Amino acid sequence: MILETPAQRRALLDRSKTVAMVGASANPLRPSYTVFSYLRTQGRFEVTPINPTIAAIDGVKAYPSLAAYAAERGAPDIVDVFRKPSEVAELAREAIAAGAKAIWFQYGVINPQAIELADAAGLDVVVDRCMKVESARFNGGLATNGLNSGLITSRRRA
Amino acid sequence: MQDRQFGFATRAIHAGTPPDPVTGSRVMPLYQTAAYVFGSTEQAAELFQLRSYGHIYSRISNPTVAAFEERMASLEGGLGAVAFSSGLAAQLGVVLSLAQNGDHLVCSQNIYGGTITQFTVLLKRLGIETTFVPADDHAAIAAAVKPETKLLFAETIGNPAGTIADLKALAGIAHDAGIPLVVDNTFASPYLCRPIEYGADIVTHSATKFISGHGTVIGGVVVESGRFPWDNGRFPLLSEASPGYHNKVFTETFGEYAFLMRARAEILRDVGAQMAPMDAWLLLLGLETLPIRMEAHVRNARAMAEFLDKRPEVEWVSYPGFASHPQHKLAEKYLPRGAGSIFTFGIRGGREAARRFIDALELWSHLANVGDMKSLVIHPASTTHSQLDGDELRKSGVAPESIRLSVGLEDADDLMWDLDNALKAAVRATENAPA
């Protein structure tokens, strides 16, 4: 199903542990590196780069494909996608084949066919959102920068 | 967590301030600290590279200030906010985030005199030129945009003449030209008008006014919608490698947060005009009562305008809530809850009568501020707009006999008693003076 509300995204992040990041770059100037590094150093997720052109990022072994990842590590909870929109329909098929529970399309990665494929296969789908930003929205990170988290609560954070 | 769109009053009290996770303190603690201890060298490096969220140094961010910023972003319907030490610093922050030497701005001429001076003198010295146009002359605004123009600036309710900006039309002109509409919303406050809902991209405030509400703080804030396409080719400061921050391309790294991140990580950091934590704490307190204060401000302002309108000593009242005001229709459209509590009127007898009127007041405070609980009065031509020459003065809507009122929350009867006495004293004295 396509997750459109903050509560749905929060629930997805809460129930997920393993993240296969397709298109993760080892170049510190690239947005994908920023997200990779953030999610890894937060310690909440096991993040793995999926990129045939590199062996590892910051000591974390990279896999050439989702199939290679799944063969060794099993189905990922979330496939996080940093790729050109035109290339992601095929990627959605690979994510389905790898048994992924959810597919997360980063900012600007919008491909209606890929969304429909993943949704029809029963994956949770997040579109045009950043996994770093959404994690930070719920863990208080956004608020440290004066960004509108949208959170209103009188409960103390556990 | 449940999905709910909370109302304005709820957000005015709660946004940005969940209970303190460490102590459970229900009030946002005052984090009166200059710097923050890092958890490790790795964490410090991540913070400096803008790869994780956290505080480094209070010139860049502070938890109490951040709570104020988030609350303002929530109330204006924005993506986020950056607080500054004053309203003028906030709008300078917007300009410096988008423009550099050789660039150009288009600005409504019906605005605060201090802004006109900042743009025509300070920015000009930095190589940024501004073209001023009447806020209601949409053809002239569109014609003033050049290839190097970076923004269109206007005030929701112009200071002091009460000119109401046609926000939807201005947003259309700006977006057709590929530039953002920047709106100073100080005189309306987000309770009376939220410019982002009408297409504005950036909203600025002097938080000193209604946001504080008590005249205790000098502060400013910038709120951004997150909707403007900063990668449209017109904003290299955001869409090209920034030598000020490890050659980061802000639009690539931060997506919709590009403007806000650069405004903080580069501009606030380098200009050093940050808000003090104590000031943010007071502003958070002020915001909690913004909805009920604005209702009462609007009610009292209408009572004063109607009172003055009937007086023989008064030549004219420029109050956008009156059908006779040139922008009354716009006021009804953009300010349905009321046209604010700041307006001008002209006293019979010109500058001299205006002077006598102000000197005869007992309860109204004669000072250079607006948006206080206390009722305030000033003579713009000799004070807030005195840097302007005769032509600029007339263009910004200030006449020699103009008196600006900021109607506070005292008993309306007491305020009218004071106005009554001062009007009589001023006009009687002026008319009895030897020719």
The pLDDT tens digits of the residues spanning B295-343 come to 999 999 999 999 999 999 999 999 999 999 999 999 999 999 999 999 9
Look at residue A66 and tell me if it is in a domain.
Answer: yes
Look at residue A147 and tell me if it is in a domain.
Answer: no
A5 contacts chain B (CB < 8 A): yes
pLDDT of the residue at B203: 98
| Strands A56-57 and B365-366, sheet pairing | unpaired
The mean-pLDDT minimum among A151-155, B142-146, B216-220 falls in A151-155
**Alpha carbons B160 and B189: distance in angstroms, whole number:** 15
DSSP string, B306-358: HHHHT-TTEEEEE-TTSTTSTTHHHHHHH-TT---SEEEEEETTHHHHHHHHH
Interface of B with A in 154-213 (CB under 8 A): none
Chain-chain contact of B82 with A130 (C-beta, under 8 angstroms)? no
What domains are defined for chain B? 9-286 (3.40.640.10), 291-432 (3.90.1150.10)
Q: What secondary structure, in 3-state letters, does chain A show? A: CECCCHHHHHHHHHHCCEEEEECCCCCCCCHHHHHHHHHHHHCCCEEEEECCCCCEECCEECECCHHHHHHHHCCCCEEEECCCHHHHHHHHHHHHHCCCCEEEECCCCCCHHHHHHHHHCCCEEECCCCHHHHHHHHHCHHHHCCECCCCCCCCCCC
Interface of A with B in 107-136 (CB under 8 A): 107-108, 130, 133, 136
Check which CATH number belongs to the domain holding A77 and give it. Answer: 3.40.50.720
pLDDT of the residue at B128: 98
Chain-chain contact of B252 with A31 (C-beta, under 8 angstroms)? yes
Distances (CA, A) of A3 to A6, A108, A118, A129, B214: 8, 16, 12, 11, 43
Q: Mean pLDDT over residues B388-396, rounded?
A: 74
Chain-chain contact of B80 with A34 (C-beta, under 8 angstroms)? no
B337 contacts chain A (CB < 8 A): no
Chain B: residue whose CA lies nearest to A10: B1
DSSP 3-state assignment of B378? strand
Residue B398: pLDDT band (50, 70, 90) is confident
A148 contacts chain B (CB < 8 A): yes
B246 contacts chain A (CB < 8 A): yes
**Alpha carbons B255 and B261: distance in angstroms, whole number:** 10
Q: Mean pLDDT over residues B129-135, rounded?
A: 96
Look at residue A153 and tell me if it is in a domain.
Answer: no
Chain-chain contact of A6 with B18 (C-beta, under 8 angstroms)? no
Q: Report, in angstroms and rounded to the nearest whole number, the Rg of chain A calculated over CA atoms.
A: 15
Distances (CA, A) of B11 to A87, A149, A153, B50: 42, 12, 10, 28
* Residue B22 in this model has a pLDDT that exceeds 60: yes
B25 contacts chain A (CB < 8 A): no
Interface probe for B, chosen from A152, A153, A154, A155 (most Cβ of B below 10 Å), is A152
Number of domains in chain A: 1
pLDDT digits (tens, 9 = 90+) for A42-83: 889 999 999 999 999 999 999 999 999 999 999 999 999 999
B70 contacts chain A (CB < 8 A): yes
pLDDT digits (tens, 9 = 90+) for B252-303: 888 889 999 999 999 999 999 999 999 999 999 999 999 999 999 999 999 9
Chain A: residue whose CA lies nearest to B245: A29
Look at residue A146 and tell me if it is in a domain.
Answer: no
pLDDT of the residue at B248: 85
pLDDT of the residue at B434: 59
pLDDT digits (tens, 9 = 90+) for A4-41: 998 899 999 999 999 999 999 999 888 899 899 999 98
**Alpha carbons B198 and A83: distance in angstroms, whole number:** 34
Please work out, in degrees rounded to the nearest 5, the angle formed at the alpha carbon of residue B219 by the alpha carbons of B355 and B344: 30
A60 contacts chain B (CB < 8 A): no
Look at residue A145 and tell me if it is in a domain.
Answer: no
What residues contact residue B292 under an 8 Å CB cut-off, 6+ apart? Answer: none
A154 contacts chain B (CB < 8 A): yes
**Alpha carbons B168 and B148: distance in angstroms, whole number:** 23
* Residue B435 in this model has a pLDDT that exceeds 60: no
CB B95 within 8 A of CB B123: yes
Percentage of chain A modeled with pLDDT above 70: 99
What is the residue range of A94's domain? 6-140
B53, amino acid identity: Y
Chain B: residue whose CA lies nearest to A136: B53
pLDDT digits (tens, 9 = 90+) for A97-117: 999 999 999 988 999 999 999
Task: Measure CB to CB from residue B253 to each of A7, A31, A147 and give the nearest one.
Answer: A31
Look at residue A1 and tell me if it is in a domain.
Answer: no
pLDDT of the residue at B399: 86
Task: Measure CB to CB from residue A147 to each of B50, B253, B260 and give the nearest one.
Answer: B260
CB B162 within 8 A of CB B319: yes
Interface of A with B in 73-102 (CB under 8 A): none
Task: Measure CB to CB from residue A146 to each of B52, B80, B255 and give the nearest one.
Answer: B80
Backbone angles phi, psi at B227, to 5 degrees: -100, -15
CB B100 within 8 A of CB B125: no
Q: Mean pLDDT over residues B242-254, rounded?
A: 86
Look at residue A129 and tell me if it is in a domain.
Answer: yes
DSSP 3-state assignment of B180? coil
pLDDT of the residue at B113: 87
Residue B224: pLDDT band (50, 70, 90) is very high
Q: Mean pLDDT over residues B365-381, rounded?
A: 94
What residues contact residue A138 under an 8 Å CB cut-off, 6+ apart? Answer: A6, A10, A13, A149, A151, B1
pLDDT of the residue at B388: 74
Look at residue A12 and tell me if it is in a domain.
Answer: yes
Chain-chain contact of B16 with A143 (C-beta, under 8 angstroms)? yes
Dihedral of CA atoms B118, B123, B126, B127 in degrees, nearest 10, equals: -160
Interface probe for B, chosen from A30, A135, A147 (most Cβ of B below 10 Å), is A147
Residue B430: pLDDT band (50, 70, 90) is low
**Alpha carbons A49 and B103: distance in angstroms, whole number:** 42
| ipTM attached to this prediction | 0.88
Chain-chain contact of B54 with A157 (C-beta, under 8 angstroms)? no
pLDDT of the residue at B26: 97
Chain-chain contact of B55 with A140 (C-beta, under 8 angstroms)? no
Distance from CA of B84 to the nearest CA of A (A): 12
Chain-chain contact of B257 with A147 (C-beta, under 8 angstroms)? yes
pLDDT of the residue at B433: 63
Chain A: residue whose CA lies nearest to B14: A152
Place of tokens 């000031």: B279
